[in-house]
Structure 1
Amino acid sequence: MSPLGGRPTLTRPAQPARNGAALLDQLRAALVRYVILPTPEAADAVALWIAATHAQPAWAHAPRLVIRAPEKRCGKSRLLDVVEATCHEPFITVNSSPAAVYRSITDDPPTLLVDEADTIFGPKADANEDLRGLLNAGHQRNRPAKRYDAAANRVESIPTFAMAALAGIGAMPDTIEDRAVVIRMRRRGPGETVAPYRHKRDRPPLRALAGDLALWLRADLPTLETAEPAMPLEDRAADTWEPLVAVADHAGAHWPDRARVAALALTAEADDNDQTSTRVRLLADCRTAFGTDTALPTAVLLERLKADPESGWADFGPTGLTPMKLGTILREYDIRPATIRFPHGQAKGYHRSDFADA
């Protein structure tokens, strides 16, 4: 039984001692050889995240790596290529069915890699609900998905715990980025150059490096399982960064300090760039839409919300924001439509006063 209960403690034959700090240095050098990362702290964070994938059975939380860019040609897909070559058992989810992804997750899970993740989480991605649920739930242990097996007449518990890297244009949902190390890519500036990445030529030595990382970390899973590193962060951010800091402490040399500097820098950057949630933005836009009116029919409220091209409500879902979706979001704030008498007759709508408390 593992020290934390329920997690597998894997054993391996004795291996020669490996210099963890040197391996992390080598991994970081490979990253910056092929990709321009936005800051030195971002390079440190990605290297530590990749290393942490090789010790997933030791962790209580599976941090996500979000690689986001404001536009194309910012290097996000190339960074995902290097992550794929150096992480633990990469599982690329492009065109994979949710059932195949779920069934691939075991007590020693692969590393999920999702390119063009904005198509999974965007407003027109209704078909990917199962995959979104997996990526949201799999950050923490003991959050299995429940499925009914009609043939066996029983409910199955399917593991969801797995580290995942997601690359895409723009921000990911709060439920993902709050549990992620977020890397904001940018286009190369004048004079910035990288080596071309050739899969056939460059991936084999990177996979050899991945093997060395695995041998180093897998030999010490019991130690990593019980590690309680001093964290510069609190709450969910500490949960997300703890595996990375634990790897850095295990490596020693300059890595413990660099890990904590990276954690503080990238968390502060995320706080500075935090976007207003969809729900709060909808409340604010509704307040603007009412203007001086004390009540509005639902149809008129939606018309005003979608009239602003910058708001995004016209593209919220396949047909834009609908009365049902509007009602679902507002219901979280105990705001519900009512039958209201207007000069032109009765209609379902909302009172402006209902929004005051929210």
Structure 2
Amino acid sequence: MPGWCFVMKSEQRSPMQPDGFTAILDAGTRLQDATAAAEQPKETVSADKQTRNASELQTVLINRKVATLADLSAIDYDRCRQSEAKALGIRVSTLDVAVTKLRPCESPEADDGLEFLKDPDPWPEPVNGNDLLNDLIELFSTYLVLPRHGALVLALWVLHAHGLQAFFHSPRINIKSPEKGSGKTTCLDILAEVCPRALRLDSVTTATLFRLIDTYQPTMLIDEHDSFLRDNEALRGALNSGHRRGGIFPRCVGDDNTVKLFKVFAATVLAGIGDLPGTLVDRSITIDMKRALPDELKARYDSRKINDDLKRKAARWAADALPQLQDADPEVPRQLFNRVADNWRPLFAIAHVLGGSWEQHTRDAAVSLCMGDTDLESAGVSLLEDIKAYFGCNGPQIKSDNLVNHLSSLEHRPWPEWKKGKPITPRQIAVLLKPFRIMSKTIRFGDTTAKGYEKEAFLDAFSRYLGEPSVTPSQSSIDVASRDFGNVTPDSNVTDEKTGIPLVGAGCYAVTDENGGETGKQKRDKEVIEI
């Protein structure tokens, strides 16, 4: 066929391919489209896709990290939240919100590692309080070497922790020793077995403390306080605020610094070597422990031998006795006043509800443990008590030497062995009285003069620190501490008018008339009940 020329001689036709010139045009169009597609800038398409992929990958990684953080306990998350937010490039408050959304709930029942911080199941039957308290005393006495009355105080405090909602104050228990190996940690271990929602900590930050208390209301059992507490002013403040019901700890939270008030009222035990800071000592009942001799312990502590029966019985007793505890207004020894009385009042309320001899036992424990406290401030108040009683027996003026002799004869007081086993001196008395702005002076006694004190100089301190109204010099020199003497003939004992027990520091060894002559001799015996 002359005049025809085929361009694609080598093209293999398929049965479905169109014939003739139309096929050639279709092949050319496909080739042009393929060439145009090949000439598109591949780099631009690839960069956009990479950007989208990177963003999606980052979101996936953040979500995975948030999920991991949501599985942490409240304590572990609090420790790492700031560093994790910084690593993820987001605000801490944003991370908090994301983590909170992934948590099942924010309650003690949440599976966050603190599920044990829930109320114990109460004993199914009513519990005899006397038997319960005796069992608790026996528990502490078996595994610990405690000071006199120590087991009773710990047992009463455990019941106070179970009935905490009935009380306005919660005394801190200060378990201290001069050296390690004295049983402090064992004591905390035993308390953890019998206290409600017990949380044992060897260290704690301020932020962790107030968040834990606000969320879980645990019984705080803090060990090794000497390693972190003294130099932490904020932590001391939180523990101080938690001494009374309604105590709060304000803190700014979130990026917008919103003020939040955290509740910090909680039963707390602080164990360590040496003394607590002064403000916490005022809010504490101190249990001094010593290293046990080999034959002093009845048994070695083994947690496997302790079940939760005592904890459940204590929970039941406290629940049943709650109305009585709330209404209780127990008498406390007159020697205990202000914050010291606040510390002991919950224990006296429990003893009052239990009845029987428990009130007397608690009274003996309070007087014994409080009078054994010889820090400077407490010693100064104790000295005022004894001087006030001595003024009541000896008129408005006393000689310094006579006062020293009197104080040194009070066997139940710290003065006979004040420093290094030696009696207190006039100089040491002056040091203790100086904060009260009381100083000795030269006074005329009959035909002679001597260094001494006038009662008028003490009236303001008596009124402020002993809780007694001051009297003017024109009133009788026989004050309230010695009113049971009548004229000048003493009774065999000096007792509190309300409680009927001997007054610590109220004993008078000589009664003199207004001219300073001795007219009688007074001694008192103090009944001691061993616990």
Same fold (TM over 0.5): yes
Structure 1 match to 2:324: 223
Contact 1:66 1:181 in 2 (8 A): yes
3-state DSSP class of the match of 1:121?
coil
1:93, distance to aligned residue in structure 2 (A): 2.9
1:164 and 2:265 aligned: no
3-state DSSP class of the match of 1:83?
helix
Structure 2 match to 1:241: 344
Structure 1 match to 2:20: none
Q: Could you tell me which of 299, 309, 315 is aligned with 1:195?
A: 299
* CA distance in 1: counterparts of 2:197 and 2:275, whole angstroms: 26
Q: Which amino acid aligns with 2:352?
A: D
Structure 2 match to 1:44: 152
Select between 243-252 and 182-191 the one with higher mean Cα deviation.
182-191
Structure 2 match to 1:141: 245
Contact 2:206 2:235 in 1 (8 A): yes
TM-score normalised to the size of structure 2?
Answer: 0.46
Contact 1:57 1:108 in 2 (8 A): no
1:80 and 2:183 aligned: no
How many residue pairs match? The answer is 257
Alignment of 1:1-358 (within 5 A): 16-39=125-148, 41-106=149-214, 109-122=217-230, 125=231, 128-151=232-255, 154-189=258-293, 191-199=295-303, 201-203=304-306, 205=307, 207-232=308-333, 233-270=336-373, 273-275=374-376
* CA distance in 2: counterparts of 1:37 and 1:257, whole angstroms: 20
Q: Which amino acid aligns with 1:136?
A: N
Q: Any stretches of 5+ residues in structure 1 without a counterpart?
A: 1-9, 278-358
* CA distance in 1: counterparts of 2:353 and 2:165, whole angstroms: 16
Q: Which amino acid aligns with 1:82?
A: I
* CA distance in 1: counterparts of 2:233 and 2:277, whole angstroms: 13
Contact 2:229 2:235 in 1 (8 A): no
Q: Deviations over 1:123-153 (max 9, x none)?
A: xx3xx43322211211112221111233566
Contact 2:122 2:313 in 1 (8 A): no
Q: Which amino acid aligns with 1:66?
A: N
Q: Relative CO higher for 1 or 2, CA cutoff 8 Å, sep ≥ 6?
A: 1
* CA distance in 2: counterparts of 1:213 and 1:13, whole angstroms: 8
Contact 2:162 2:314 in 1 (8 A): yes
* CA distance in 2: counterparts of 1:79 and 1:194, whole angstroms: 14
* CA distance in 2: counterparts of 1:189 and 1:103, whole angstroms: 41
1:249, distance to aligned residue in structure 2 (A): 1.5
Structure 2 match to 1:307: none
1:193, distance to aligned residue in structure 2 (A): 2.3
* CA distance in 1: counterparts of 2:258 and 2:181, whole angstroms: 48
Q: Deviations over 1:200-240 (max 9, x none)?
A: x133x2x3201110110122223212211111122111100
- In 2 relative to 1, CA 53–13 (structure 1 residues): closer, same or farther, beyond 3 Å? closer
Structure 1 match to 2:528: none
1:250, distance to aligned residue in structure 2 (A): 1.5
Q: Deviations over 1:1-21 (max 9, x none)?
A: xxxxxxxxx9x9996321101
Structure 2 match to 1:351: none
Contact 1:68 1:76 in 2 (8 A): yes
Contact 1:93 1:101 in 2 (8 A): no
Q: Any stretches of 5+ residues in structure 2 without a counterpart?
A: 1-118, 379-531
1:188, distance to aligned residue in structure 2 (A): 1.9
Contact 2:156 2:350 in 1 (8 A): yes
Q: Deviations over 1:273-300 (max 9, x none)?
A: 21479xxxxxxxxxxxxxxxxxxxxxxx
1:88, distance to aligned residue in structure 2 (A): 1.7
Q: Which amino acid aligns with 2:292?
A: R
* CA distance in 2: counterparts of 1:255 and 1:28, whole angstroms: 12
Contact 2:283 2:340 in 1 (8 A): yes
Contact 1:61 1:140 in 2 (8 A): yes
* CA distance in 2: counterparts of 1:37 and 1:178, whole angstroms: 21
Q: Deviations over 1:313-335 (max 9, x none)?
A: xxxxxxxxxxxxxxxxxxxxxxx
3-state DSSP class of the match of 1:209?
helix
* CA distance in 2: counterparts of 1:55 and 1:107, whole angstroms: 18
Contact 2:203 2:225 in 1 (8 A): no
TM-score normalised to the size of structure 1?
Answer: 0.67
Contact 2:330 2:345 in 1 (8 A): yes
Q: Which amino acid aligns with 1:47?
A: A
Identity level (%): 37
Q: Deviations over 1:103-124 (max 9, x none)?
A: 22249821111101111234xx
